Amino acid sequence: MSNTFIETLLEYSKPYESPTSFWKWSGYVSIAAALRDSCWLQQGDSKLFPNIYVLFLADSGQRKGRPVDFATKLISDLKNIKVISGRSSIQAILVDLSRVETDPTTQKLMKGGAAIFFAPELTAALVNDPAAVGIITDIYEYKEKYDKGLVGGKIVLEHIVFNFFAASNEALLKEVYDNRATQGGLLARTFVITPNETRPANSLFSLPDTKEAYAALLGKLKMISNLKGVFTITQAARDMYDSWYIPFKNSLVKKKDTIGVLGRIHTGILKLSLILAANDLTLEVSANHIEEAIAETLKLLPNYVMFTTAGGTSDIAECGRRVLDALITEEAIKAGYKVSRKKLLRDHWLHFTGETLDSFISVAEGGDMIKTAVNGTDTYYYLTEVGRNKMIIGE
């Protein structure tokens, strides 16, 4: 069985110093752009398109630019969606969206508001305009028709499906993602991606010619771009999504979410599940797609802490208290004093990170309080007899 587009991209990008998290999400954006307005999920009287906003957040020198530049080239060579890059104003972006263009090679008309905006350095690419944040936030949602008054007159756009792919560092980021963006919903609509590794240095002097590999990669993206129609969700996928979403939604009543990320995260998960299905060249969303989308999205949640004063503690003792409490709930006891790593990180993202959890588990295993087992795609933690005696009996 041939590799998917994402698998092929990750293999192609192995020699480069940019971290895997950046390459993977550049792949997700590329799929979203390739699908333009051709595929959607019907939700009652509304349509959910897999367009996404992605922001790479890393210090200078952490190689965030290459994956953005590469995706720009890939989508430009695909020639099926409007590509907006370079320094621009929100006014100019809207004008670009209104134009009907003919590709000189394929003679295809690229009409409607299906587009992607690339910004390898966000603050350098987007001209400062008080209206920019509000407009970019507004056009995240699919619009059958969008009327907007500009300096040069009124503009009418149809079928807006807008993708946004940018990179920045913490020092410059808040010039765009200011209080209006964090409180007004732009941040909540954005996947914030940070480096997940530091790759070895590579001068690339010995890198072979990549023309054939690039052509193969572009070919896989073209296959994705040929998908058209309505996404369907299998019953198993619906059940998996509801088993996560319903308790998660109920838990928000007790959480203070000043930036709205928790309130909108389910939309991001659904969009990513559509992208993952398309990566498999299908419009049928399976339980595996939902599970992967939940895991991929929830592990991003610590990346938003810098935007909120409600950020949690990284204290190992606090993490330990919450883990041990989770192991003696009625649900955990019925399962044999067991809780999954995914559930812990999903339920307590505001209070500890995966790294803090690993530190606590290491200490707890050394004290024979907890044992670890891997089952399928998840890790499970069990309260040992020693742990039960200490927690329940008090010995």
Domain-ending residue, one of 241, 276, 305: 305
> What is the structure's pLDDT at 35?
96
3-state SS, residue 162: strand
Tell whether 352 and 255 lie within a shared domain.
Answer: no
Query: Among candidates 217, 221, 227, which has minimal Cα distance to 282?
Result: 227
User: Could you give phi then psi for residue 247, rounded to 5 degrees?
Assistant: -65, -35
Cα–Cα distances in angstroms (integers) from residue 309 to residues 224, 258, 366, in the given order: 41, 8, 34
Tell whether 280 and 329 lie within a shared domain.
Answer: no
Tell whether 280 and 358 lie within a shared domain.
Answer: no
Tell whether 24 and 114 lie within a shared domain.
Answer: yes
- Choose from 279-283, 293-297, 305-309, 311-315 the range with maximum mean pLDDT: 279-283
Tell whether 326 and 234 lie within a shared domain.
Answer: no
Strand partners, 330: none
Which tens digits make up the pLDDT trace of 14-32? 999 999 999 999 999 999 9
> What is the structure's pLDDT at 311?
43
Across 283-290, average pLDDT: 97
* 310 belongs to a structural domain: no
* 311 belongs to a structural domain: no
pLDDT at 176 over 80: no
- In the numeric block, the tokens 């990179």 are attached to 167
**What is the residue range of 348's domain?**
316-393
How many other CB atoms are there within 10 angstroms of residue 246's CB atom? Answer: 10
Domain count within the chain = 2
Distance of CA 219 to the CA centre of its chain: 24
CATH number at residue 44: 3.40.50.300
Which tens digits make up the pLDDT trace of 129-151? 667 788 888 889 988 877 776 65
Query: Among candidates 289, 287, 291, which has minimal Cα distance to 276?
Result: 289
Query: Among candidates 247, 140, 134, which has minimal Cα distance to 189?
Result: 140
